[in-house]
Homo-oligomer: A and B are copies of this chain.
Amino acid sequence: MRIAFVGTGIMGASMIMNLMKAGHSLTVYNRTKSKADGVVAAGAVWKDSLAECVREAEAVITIIGFPKDVEEVYFGPEGILAHAPEGAILVDMTTTSPRLAKRIFEEAARRGLQALDAPVSGGDQGAREGTLSIMAGGSKEAYDKMLPVFQAMGSRINYMGPAGSGQHTKMANQIAIAGAISGVCEALTYSRKAGLDLEGVLACIGAGAASSWQMNNLGPKMVQGDDRPGFLIKHMLKDLKIALEEAEAENLDLPVLALVEGMYETLTGQGRQEEGTQALIHYFE
């Protein structure tokens, strides 16, 4: 397939490599050109503007950081909606708001384009290994056409329903994580105060009813004081803010989500936004 790929950051670059490996032909664009050097050296075709990049694409894939960037890239005068050719399928894989996903879907439909929201989880490792989890919303027809493309990037691909459903599912994922990771932090903080051996505690409780991916993967980093990112606090905070806004718009009171969002705000105020989400443990010090 002729794919235009916008966003060649850590995630995007790995996903592009896997798409090329699967035989797709790629044009690429990124705000900072140098970040595309690797994929261009590997055979992707650089384009000097977004309009150029998408002009002949059968599918356009974006993965680009923050909702306001997504808005600009889709709705700007030089943007994707204005320049993608009729019939193209637009796939935003950024984690962004379900509302924005619906706006893109509707504007795309008005212009004879199709759109999917398809955020991912699995991080840089999943992107590199082609084992991302991809949760998609939009028309089932567009999803079916894109499935082989998704399969080149991910190993667990789920169609979740109409436009916005992919983003909603990702929000559910982040909300569950907020509860799990804060529980691990509080359990370890309690254990430290009680004078317990923290690695012993994780070994003891990490296989039963208290176990979680967060405990087993990030608990040891918390104990070792390793704040290096897998997943950045600034990205987690963005996601939790979206989830909270979405919940508030629906008059839904999610107090644990609100609490954990506030904790990450506090840590961001302390300059920890480039650390990994496990640095939440420092909130309790």
- Which residues of A are interface residues toward B (Cβ below 8 A)? 98, 121-123, 133, 135, 156, 158, 160-161, 164-165, 168-169, 171-191, 193-197, 200-201, 203-205, 207-215, 217, 231, 243, 246-247, 250, 252-257, 259-260, 284
A31 to chain B, nearest CB (A): 27
Number of copies: 2
In the complex, what residue of chain B is closest to A134 when comparing beta carbons? B204
Within the complex, which residue of B121, B178, B183, B255 is in contact with A175, where a contact is CB–CB below 8 Å?
B183
Contact call A179/B256, Cβ cutoff below 8 A: yes
Please state if B205 and A172 are interface contacts (CB–CB under 8 Å): yes
Asked whether B173 lies within 8 Å of A178 as measured between CB atoms, the reply is no
- Specify the chain B residue showing the minimal Cβ separation from A155: B207
> What residues on B are CB-neighbors of A180 within 8 Å?
179-180, 183, 210, 212
What B residues does A178 contact at CB under 8 A?
Answer: 183, 186
**Do A204 and B158 form a contact, CB below 8 Å, given A168-B191, A179-B182?**
yes
* Bound-state Cα–Cα, A169 to B199, Å: 12
> How far, in whole Å, are A259 and B190 apart by their CA atoms in the complex?
16
The answer for the CA separation of A177 and B262 in the assembled complex, in Å, is 21
Q: Provide a sorted-by-A list of 23 A–B residue pairs whose CB atoms are within 8 angstroms.
A: A121-B210, A158-B200, A160-B200, A160-B201, A161-B197, A168-B195, A169-B201, A169-B204, A172-B188, A172-B190, A172-B191, A172-B196, A176-B187, A176-B210, A176-B215, A178-B186, A180-B180, A183-B256, A190-B254, A194-B250, A212-B215, A255-B259, A256-B260
Smallest distance from the beta carbon of A215 to chain B beta carbons, Å? 6
Flag if A190 contacts B243 (CB, 8 Å).
yes
When distances are taken between beta carbons in the complex, the residues of chain B under 8 Å from A197 are 160-161
Is the beta-carbon distance between B173 and A254 smaller than 8 angstroms? no
Contact of A209 among B177, B205, B284 (CB under 8 A): B177
Residues of chain B within 8 A of A179, CB atoms compared: 179-187, 256
Interface centre among A160, A183, A184, A252 (most CB of B within 10 A): A183
Measured CB to CB, the nearest residue on chain B to A210 is B176
The residue on B at minimum CB distance from A254 is: B186
